[in-house]
Amino acid sequence: MARARAAYVAASLVVGVGLLAGCGGGSGGTKAAPPWTENSTQEGLIAQKLPAKSSDRKVVSGGAPWSFTLDKADDPNVPSSQWPSADSVLTSDQLKGAIPEATSVTLGTCVKGTNGPTSTEKNASCTWSVELKDSGDYTNEVVVSIVSIGADEKVTESWTSERNKNFSSRKSGERFFTSGSFSAKGSYYLDNNHSSVLVSDGNMAAWIDLTFNGFNSLNDSRNTMLTGIFPVLAKDLADRMPRKYA
């Protein structure tokens, strides 16, 4: 039952992986782009830091930074053949580092995404099962989904449009973070435990969504997610595309 539910959740998140419209503005994978800077002035965005170094929640390296190139100067989309497989976007060690309450972390169902008329070449969404102390028979899951990877300007434009739609109807418990929080270009966390992170080296960018299911056995679970688990995982993602042009 849990596996079937995980498959449904993962599949529902990758029906229609984002394709970016318009040209890439001449951006290429090896060409320096105009810098992006931190922006703490937009009304309603919250500047937030990682948990204190004394915290049990730790940022863990996921390996070498990602590197992408554009096949065509007039196409801002990075071909899905270059995308990382969703099961490698976050590792089990990174999830354990962010969630030290976990007794085990297990990779579950992965699915490909739809990329125009075809499927992505690799998995675009994966579900991790997380066993927690004192969680009983309840299932806790982290769904990792790659939405889009491409030229920084166009991915940022698409991601910001989606963020602003959510921001315009925001609920009191939702958090929208300033550029630069957790070293990400953008991030937010919604009331339904769906979250999103925009990571960028200033030239290329990746839009990654995270959805958390369960985790009710955590002490002060909502605040733990907002101030602990999500910030650490967002930093893990940002480290895969560290900012070069600043």
Does residue 46 lie in a domain region? yes
What mean pLDDT is predicted for residues 7-22? 47
**Range(s) of the domain holding residue 169:** 2-238
Does residue 246 lie in a domain region? no
Q: How does pLDDT run across 35-71, given as a tens digit for each residue? A: 666 665 677 899 899 999 888 999 999 999 999 999 9
Instruction: Return d(Cα 176, Cα 135) in angstroms, integer.
Output: 29
Does residue 13 carry a pLDDT above 80?
A: no
Does residue 65 lie in a domain region? yes
Write down the pLDDT at residue 17: 60
Does residue 131 lie in a domain region? yes
Count, residues in the chain: 246
pTM, two decimal places:
0.87
Phi and psi for 94 in degrees, rounded to 5? -65, -40
Does residue 243 lie in a domain region? no
Q: 3-class SS at 41?
A: coil
Does residue 135 lie in a domain region? yes
Q: How does pLDDT run across 80-108, given as a tens digit for each residue? A: 999 999 999 999 999 999 999 999 999 99
Name the pairing type of β-strands 175-177 and 140-151.
unpaired
Looking at the 3D structure of the chain, how many domains does it have?
1
Q: Give the 3-state secondary structure percentages of the chain, helix then strand then coil, rounded to 5.
A: 25, 25, 50
Q: Are the beta carbons of 196 and 158 closer than 8 angstroms?
A: no
Does residue 69 lie in a domain region? yes
Residue 199's alpha-carbon distances to 67, 71, 152, in angstroms, are 12, 20, 9
